[in-house]
Amino acid sequence: MSIFSGLEEIVETDYPLAKRTWYGLGGPADYFISPRTTEQLKEVIQRCNENEIRLYVMGFGSNLLINDDGVRGAVIKLEAEQFAQIEFGEQEVTAWAGAEMSKLVLTCVEKGLSGIETLTGIPGSVGGAIKMNAGGNFGDIGAAVETVSLMDNAGSIFEKSKPELVFDYRQTNIAAKFILSARLKLNAADPEQIMRTVKEIWIFKKNSQPLNTKNSGCIFKNPRGVSAGALIDRAGLKGLQIGGAVVSEKHANFIIAEKGCKSRDVVRLTEAVRQRVKEQFDVELELEIEIW
């Protein structure tokens, strides 16, 4: 622990990451670090750089699979109070990376601010959502983001704004390791009308996704102009099982972790699905989840 001398209160070693992910799978991290301030985050980054420790940034673990052997390096999670702030302006909101997306969406609805209600039912942190431009059939977060505050691998803080800031399908041009906060531009609207939209989206998701299972959301990105779930379904892969991992009968782009499942089961199943879809439709499916 001498590497992190003076920072012991925010550093845990051999930390079981499974309990921090929606899948609940995988091994431990060498270090699990929860900085309480941007100054502490900068200090952690510098110590890791000096000691050649690889850095990983974890959001809410809703889109993440941890290898059974765990993670060699330091996993940093921005969950302290400073990193979970949400500040409202007249028609904008500044949300820090550790704020919860579902909470942000509902608070905006209550305040009559429209623009991110399309993200209803999408789990995770604001930082993670921005990094992958989270979204679904109804829209993505990038449409509302105006400016992001970032920290690079050297611990320097800077901002990036549109049009320099570009959002594409499930990706952005943000190269910096750490998203600290973001300013979202919203529109004033009738809270009741926004809530109706929220309810419609929630009912759609409840009816079409296996919500009460251990999963990590959509496994694959949709190839241009086609649904990954539809391709997997047409390939006859619903219900396909390897070990404790099974392709959902409700939505073919979800892989459910059943009792006794290991991360390697999920990985093997994703590869089997990719191979079958490639063989039948000559389409290469690209992973949407992250695997560490």
- pLDDT tens digit sequence for 25-84: 999 999 999 999 999 999 999 999 999 999 999 999 999 999 999 999 999 999 999 999
Gap between the Cα atoms of 283 and 275, Å rounded: 9
- The whole-chain average pLDDT of the chain stands at 94
Q: What is the pLDDT of residue 139?
A: 85
Mean pLDDT over 268-272 rounds to 98
Walk me through the domains of the chain, giving residue ranges and CATH numbers. 8-77 (3.30.43.10), 84-195 (3.30.465.10), 210-291 (3.90.78.10)
Gap between the Cα atoms of 239 and 232, Å rounded: 11
User: What's the pTM?
Assistant: 0.90
- pLDDT tens digit sequence for 205-233: 888 888 889 999 899 999 988 999 999 99
Task: Tell me the percentage of the chain whose pLDDT exceeds 90.
Answer: 87
